[in-house]
Each structure stands twice: as structure tokens, then as C-alpha cells.
Amino acid sequence: MSRENGAGVGEGGGGAPEPEQLALIRESVRKAKVPRAKPRTWRGAALAKELPVARVLVDKGVLHLDRYFDYAVPEELDEAAQPGVRVRVRFGAGSRNVREGRREGGGLIDGFIVERRAETEYTGPLAALAQVVSPEPVLGAELLDLARAVADRYAGSLADVLQLAVPPRHARAESRAAVPPPAPPAPPGAGSWRRYAHGEEFLSALASGASPRAVWTALPGPQWAEEIARAVRATLASGRGALVVVPTGRPAARVDAALTELLGEGQHALLTADAGQERRYREWLSVRRGEVRAVVGTRAAMFAPVRDLGLVVVWDDGDANHSDDRAPFPHVREVLELRATRDRCGFLLGGWSCTVEAAQLVESGWAAPLVADREQVRGAAPLVRTVGDGDLARDEAARAARLPTLAWRAVREGLRHGPVLVQVPRRGYVPRLACERCREPARCRGCAGPLEAQDSGAALRCGWCGVEEGAWHCGECGGFRLRAQVVGARRTAEELGRAFPAVPVRTSGREQVLDTVPGTPALVVSTPGAEPVADGGYAAALLLDGWAMLGRPDLRAGEDALRRWIGAAALVRSQNAGGTVVVVAEATLRPVQALVRWDPVGHAVRELGERAELGFPPVSRMAAVSGRPEALAEFLAAAELPPDAVVLGPVPVREAAPGPSRRPGAAPPGEQWERVLIRVPPGSGAALAAALKVAQAARMARGAKGTREGPAEAVRIRVDPLDIG
């Protein structure tokens, strides 16, 4: 990039300059010394006597500016302009204007000082820092290195990652006086960790200063929050810090209450989005200053600057809320894995269910399993019964009211002893096609992607590679007929409510999410993930319209359905206490059988084996690239992908409804987009991310309009997307 395209400042030495010049610049730096100039500004203003150059990361989330820029430090800002502080700088004027002595152009934008230096590699005059916004050093070296690693992994810009990692400033929060950190607590007792094989050993290792890594399959019931709190206290007892990340504010509140009970008031920080800007920034500052060393929070807390980090915990890593919906779309699990490796700290991935990624961590030996024996599982889990399609066909009550007789009986019996939970799929589930005879999902013969029906009776088309399939037949049973399950979850819930007119009906879902309900008889109708906790547990639960979740055209449909079912069933009383769960889904399907046996780990291991055979994530790495057809074709032609990359597609991208809830992979309303999937084998993920990042940076440098908001002209990149159906 010519210096005329700069921002009124000299080129910095950090980060990557123009992408297409990477190899040339590295070679020239290796062979020859870059001439250094004495720092000066075009006005000749007095500069700091020592280290008069500030290397600044400007808040520009575009890849071709993903580097540092050198600015002169005026003498009056010398004391405040320390590494890590927020500053404002002038950005946007060509350095030719500066050299000619004209008035500096460009607007003031925010940035961070990352380093103070004695010299600059730029030979011209430097623009001076305009303002030190705050003397509070919010960007430490460890957080900067972590953000850079995350940006590289997800083919994004460092500025975008720091937008997620560092909360907005609030002056009143900074004015609060610092307090000394609390003394380390005594190691806790094992408590309910005794229910797990090696549970006590895990706590002892944390308390002794060791860094164990474990994938924890929690037993059903409410004890999981208290168990996390005990792991945190054991880590604090060793003099180190702990970080817990949960998907939403409701589980964060439960862990917060457990930590308060175990540690006392003011011994940990709660970082959630709904806390308000001032409180969230105040809590974050208390962590950065070392006033507290225990943190629980939602997604953005994965970057919390905990001192002497000894343990990172992620709960329910399969929840979509763990994946950020802003570029570069980092996932909590991957970021905390990265932190555990870089900081050599303990790692605990927990949940009632088990994702395929968690199973891979165990199979690779990176983490150890932390599970209860079958006797403990049988004692804690409810009784699970199934109602398949054959049962529904023979059941007169089911045909009349879309609810099988077994479910009626379970509800009637459960209401005698307490509340009954009814889980219904949320609106928006789009079922995939499956064999009418054996219910095996219809997949492409080329890439094994999901087949989709087209309009006007045209041939089936693969949702991944776009290839049409005109002569499909089932590979399992040889059948030629397909079906797409159409569900009416709302109507089913209404019918259930009419059947018990004397029983109160409570709903929890998009409009209103309940946190808890009393232990008195009631029907609680909830969408997946919004189930409230009942005092004393639910007496029974109905999991209705299972095909609505199992039939989604997504690689994770079975895994996600099992996770949501187990999440609801874990709130039901144990079988010994009379708890019963009825799931309305074909009993022979693998996720249903895993629920009946309460064996999420076995299901994840088998899924991992199948994905390994087919080359699917997480065994492989994958990126989704989407945009307008012409922009996407131009991007793919310019990208120097790894030689072992496989490109699937392009295929049309479904247009999403307007609003903030739009999925990151969906096309903007009114736009016709296409998407390709790029798959590489293990070991090539970093090369794929680097190639995509270089191609995107080069495209933006040539003038393509790409911003954080992602307008129609942009090409959108998502590495390791959650939904690739």
C-alpha cells in the first residue's frame, strides 16, 4: 500500500502491512535494515524526551488496516500515554499532506497504545496523539496477545476482537478507588463432586496448583452450579484466578448465587450484558486491577483479564449463545481452549449433555473424562419413555388431539405431585427430508450434505454443494419415498391446556422467559432453552414433536436435539422420586435411544466416528464464505487456498427476516446471496484462515466496501460455523 493511502501517520512495524506484499516485506526486513528517522511532527511540537513514539492500534475493523500505526507523543501527554490506555488519534489524511505542511485532515478515532518506542521506522513526520481518553491501562500485553491469536484463528481483525474483549468506558466506574484483593480461601470439601469418578482428585489437583483438563458430564439436577463454585474455590485456594463462562444470564445468576454462598459477598465479579454499562465496566475493572480473581459471566467474559489464571470453565458448550454473532464470530469453547494452552491453566468443559467437540478433546487426550458411574446416573436420572410414529398411528387420542395416550397419563399422574414441563419446538424450525420408511435423513451422494426440495417439483438439491439429485433412494432400506415432518407445536400446547382446564398454565419462551416456578401442580409450556427451574423439580416432562428438531437440515440436528431434551429432562425429579419423561419421537433413532439410556457421551463418540469417516467437523476444519454471486466468485478466484482444500457449492443462502435476531450466516433481507463451504483436513486450519484473511484484506484494499455491519457488497467469512446445514 502506498503511503498516500495511509492515515496521516507513518507505517508501524507491528501486524501485517498490505496482504499481497507480506512475503516481499518479510524478505526485505530480513536482508536489509530499515532506515530509522528521528521522531518529529510536521508542526515541530515538543515531544516526550524518552520513548517519543507511540505504536497505536486504531479502531478500524477492516483487514487491510489490521496493523499498528506510529504516532508522536507530545510532551504534555508523556505521563498519561502509557501502553494499554485508550487514546484518540487523527486518522484519514494522506501523509503527503503532512509532509507539505498542510492542515492535517481526517477524523478523530479511538485506539489503544500498545507500545512506547524510541524510534520509528517511518521516515516522514508523524502525526501526534490527539488525546489520552483515560490513563487507565485497559489493554494489557496478555489480552493483546490473546486477541491477536483469536483474530488469526477466525480470519478477522484485531480491532474487531478487541471490540468484544474490552467493554466501553464509563468514567464514573474508573474513578472508584482500588481495593486490595482478598486472601485466598481455604480449600473446599468435595461435596457432590464425590458422585463422579476422580471428582475429588480433580478438586485436589486444582487446590494444589496443578492444571487438570477435564470434560465433565454433569448428573441431572441443580447441583451443577454448586459444583462449579467448589472448583472455583479450590483454584482460588492455590492463589490463582478462575473464569466461568455460561451461555445466558439465567445460569450466570445460579453460579453467581453459588459463589456468593461459598465465598461470601464481593469475592467474585459478575460480567453479563444485562448488567448495564457502568456496572459491567466497574466489575471488569475490578478483575483487571486484581481486586477479585473469580469471574462468572456470559460470552464476552471469555476475554476477562483474570490475574494468574488457574482455571477456565465453560458450561453447556453446545448452546448457540456461546458463539458471538459479530465478526469474527469467536466461540467461547475455542477461546478458552486457547487460554488454557497459552496460560497453562486448568480447563473444565461441563454440561448435562456432551458435544462432538468435547468428545474429540477426550479422544485426542487433550482432556480427561469426568463422569459418574452408571449406578449414580440411574439414581439421578428420571424414567424416560418414548412414543414413536407407530404408536401415534394406532392411538385414537393422538389422532384426535395430537397427543398420545401415554403422554396424557404421564401429565395426569405428574399433576398429582407437582408441576409438569411441556417442551415444544420454537417457531422457525425447518425440517429436512428423510426416508418415509426408516426415517434416515436424505443426504447427497457426493458430499453427504442434506438434500432439500426445490420449488415446482424440480429435482432435489444438496444444501452444501448444490448438486441436484434426480434419482434418490435410501441407502439404509432402499426406499424411494421422502417425508418432511410438519408440526404444529402451538396447537399441541393449546390442546394440552384445554384438556386440564382447572390447572394453571404458564408459558416461557421468546416473549417472556421464566426463571423459576413454584413446586405446586401446573402446566409449564416452554420452548427449548427457556425452561424454568421448578422448586423440588418437575414431576414429569413431555418432549413433544421431536421430529421438528431432529429433522432440521443441519449437521448438528441430532446432537442439538439430544442436548435440548437432556436439558429439560435434567430438571425432572429422579426415577426414584417418581420423575417421568415422555419423548414423542421415533424410538429407534440414535438421539432418542441416547436419551432413554441417558448416555450423551456414547452418542457424541458415535457421532464423532461418523464425522471422521465423512471428513466433517470437528475432525476437519471448515469455513463458510457468503456474499453476492459476483463478489463471491471474485473472492474465490483470488484466494490462494491450501492445496488440500475442498470447496462445496456455491448454493443459495436463505434470506433472513429483518431484525437483530438474524443469524450471521443468513443473507440480508432483499439480497440474493450464495455460500460456499471450504473444508480442509486436520493441520490445515491455520493455513485456511490465513488464506481467507489475506484474500479479504486484498479485496478491501482494492476498494471493495466491507464494514463490520457487512453491507451487500461485502463477502462474509465465518470459520468453523455452527450451522452448516
pLDDT at 112 over 70: yes
Answer left, alpha or beta for residue 495, where phi above 0 means left and psi between -120 and 50 means alpha. Answer: alpha
Domain that holds residue 648: 621-719
209 in a structural domain:
yes
Mean pLDDT value across residues 326-348: 96
Q: Total structural domains in the chain?
A: 4
**504 contacts 523 by C-beta, under 8 angstroms:** yes
Position 505 scores a pLDDT of 86
**486 contacts 548 by C-beta, under 8 angstroms:** no
From 209, 221, 326, 412, select the one nearest 709 (Cα to Cα): 326
The sign of the dihedral angle between the CA atoms of 519, 522, 523, 525 is: negative
Mean pLDDT value across residues 604-613: 93
The 3-state DSSP class for residue 487 equals coil
Position 263 scores a pLDDT of 94
**8 contacts 104 by C-beta, under 8 angstroms:** yes
DSSP 457: G
Verify that 414 and 536 share a domain, yes or no: yes
Position 388 scores a pLDDT of 67
pLDDT at 397 over 80: no
Position 702 scores a pLDDT of 80
Instruction: Please tell me the distance from the alpha carbon of residue 635 to that of residue 51, in angstroms, as a whole number.
Output: 42
Q: Which amino acid is at 17?
A: P
pLDDT at 351 over 60: yes
Radius of gyration of the chain, Cα coordinates, nearest whole angstrom: 28
Verify that 116 and 52 share a domain, yes or no: yes
Instruction: Please tell me the distance from the alpha carbon of residue 606 to that of residue 356, in angstroms, as a whole number.
Output: 9
Least confident segment among 26-35, 203-212, 444-453: 26-35
Instruction: Please tell me the distance from the alpha carbon of residue 702 to that of residue 219, in angstroms, as a whole number.
Output: 55
Instruction: Please tell me the distance from the alpha carbon of residue 649 to that of residue 127, in angstroms, as a whole number.
Output: 47
Verify that 237 and 274 share a domain, yes or no: yes
Task: Report the DSSP beta bridge partners of residue 383.
Answer: 580
* pLDDT higher at 436 or 619: 619
**39 contacts 120 by C-beta, under 8 angstroms:** yes
Give the phi and the psi of residue 125 in degrees, each rounded to 5.
-70, 145
Number of Cβ atoms within 10 Å of the Cβ of 64: 24
| Enclosing H/E stretch for 225 | helix 224-237
Where does the pLDDT of residue 81 fall: very low under 50, low under 70, confident under 90, or very high at 90 and above? very high
Position 389 scores a pLDDT of 59
Mean pLDDT value across residues 166-177: 89
Instruction: Please tell me the distance from the alpha carbon of residue 433 to that of residue 425, in angstroms, as a whole number.
Output: 18
Verify that 538 and 638 share a domain, yes or no: no
Verify that 40 and 95 share a domain, yes or no: yes
- The percentage of the chain sitting over the pLDDT mark of 90, rounded to a whole number, equals 57
163 in a structural domain:
no
Verify that 668 and 689 share a domain, yes or no: yes
The residue from 565, 597, 629 where one domain ends is: 597
pLDDT at 93 over 70: no
| Enclosing H/E stretch for 237 | helix 224-237
Verify that 392 and 363 share a domain, yes or no: no
Residues annotated in a binding site for Zn(2+): 435, 438, 444, 447, 462, 465, 474, 477
CATH number (domain holding residue 244): 3.40.50.300
Where does the pLDDT of residue 219 fall: very low under 50, low under 70, confident under 90, or very high at 90 and above? very high
Q: What is the mean pLDDT of the chain?
A: 84
Contacts with 161 (C-beta within 8 Å, 6 or more apart), sequence order:
147, 148, 150, 151, 328, 330
**197 contacts 372 by C-beta, under 8 angstroms:** yes
Instruction: Please tell me the distance from the alpha carbon of residue 254 to that of residue 241, in angstroms, as a whole number.
Output: 20
161 in a structural domain:
no
Verify that 540 and 653 share a domain, yes or no: no
- Grid coordinates in use for 469? 439429485
Classify strands 106-117 and 86-92 as parallel, antiparallel or unpaired.
Answer: antiparallel
DSSP 441: B
- The percentage of the chain sitting over the pLDDT mark of 70, rounded to a whole number, equals 82
- Grid coordinates in use for 354? 456432551
**What are the CA-CA distances from residue 482 to residues 434, 437, 452 (Å)?**
5, 8, 11
Q: Calculate the dihedral angle through the C-alpha atoms of 195, 196, 198, 200, rounding to the nearest 10 degrees.
A: -40
Position 595 scores a pLDDT of 97
pLDDT at 39 over 90: no
Give the phi and the psi of residue 553 in degrees, each rounded to 5.
-80, 70
CATH number (domain holding residue 693): 3.30.70
Where does the pLDDT of residue 499 fall: very low under 50, low under 70, confident under 90, or very high at 90 and above? confident
The 3-state DSSP class for residue 370 equals strand
Verify that 8 and 133 share a domain, yes or no: yes
pLDDT at 42 over 70: no
pLDDT at 669 over 70: no
Where does the pLDDT of residue 454 fall: very low under 50, low under 70, confident under 90, or very high at 90 and above? low
580 in a structural domain:
yes
Mean pLDDT value across residues 160-182: 89
Verify that 546 and 589 share a domain, yes or no: yes
pLDDT at 562 over 50: yes
290 in a structural domain:
yes
- Write out pLDDT tens, residues 115-169: 999 999 888 888 899 999 999 999 999 999 999 999 999 999 999 999 999 999 9
585 in a structural domain:
yes
Where does the pLDDT of residue 66 fall: very low under 50, low under 70, confident under 90, or very high at 90 and above? confident
Where does the pLDDT of residue 521 fall: very low under 50, low under 70, confident under 90, or very high at 90 and above? very high
* pLDDT higher at 178 or 270: 270
* pLDDT higher at 526 or 437: 526
Instruction: Please tell me the distance from the alpha carbon of residue 654 to that of residue 661, in angstroms, as a whole number.
Output: 15
| Enclosing H/E stretch for 271 | strand 269-271
239 in a structural domain:
yes
Number of residues that this document lists for the chain: 725
Where does the pLDDT of residue 17 fall: very low under 50, low under 70, confident under 90, or very high at 90 and above? very low
Verify that 262 and 342 share a domain, yes or no: yes
447 in a structural domain:
no
Instruction: Please tell me the distance from the alpha carbon of residue 600 to that of residue 352, in angstroms, as a whole number.
Output: 8
pLDDT at 469 over 60: yes
Position 621 scores a pLDDT of 93
Verify that 366 and 421 share a domain, yes or no: no
Mean pLDDT value across residues 25-38: 43
Where does the pLDDT of residue 457 fall: very low under 50, low under 70, confident under 90, or very high at 90 and above? low
Position 711 scores a pLDDT of 44
Least confident segment among 49-53, 113-117, 299-303, 495-499: 495-499
Position 546 scores a pLDDT of 82
Mean pLDDT value across residues 351-361: 97
CATH number (domain holding residue 550): 3.40.50
pLDDT at 496 over 90: no
Mean pLDDT value across residues 278-282: 93
